[in-house]
């Protein structure tokens, strides 16, 4: 987290804050899209049954 804040500050200084905001949105979207596209309902059901 602190490294990301420092990197965001440097990118903001060099390229401007809109670049940081758009980059953060893209990374957030990728973090949500990856599991949404790779995790299948069957996998969720199997884990729910295993956990109880």
Domain chopping of the chain, boundaries: 2-51
* pLDDT tens-digit series, residues 1-52: 689 889 989 999 999 999 999 999 999 999 999 999 999 999 989 989 898 7
- Does the pTM surpass 0.85? The reply is no
Q: What is the pLDDT of residue 22?
A: 95
Q: What is the pLDDT of residue 2?
A: 87
Q: What is the pLDDT of residue 19?
A: 93
Phi/psi region, residue 40 (left: phi>0; alpha: psi -120 to 50; beta: rest), is: beta
The upper half-sphere exposure of residue 29, i.e. CA atoms within 13 Å in the direction of its Cβ, equals 6
């Amino acid at each position: 987290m602190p490294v990301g804040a420092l990197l965001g500050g440097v990118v903001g200084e060099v390229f401007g804050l809109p670049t940081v905001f758009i980059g953060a949105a893209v990374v957030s979207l990728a973090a949500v899209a990856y599991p949404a596209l790779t995790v299948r309902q069957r996998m969720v059901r199997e884990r729910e049954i295993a956990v109880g």
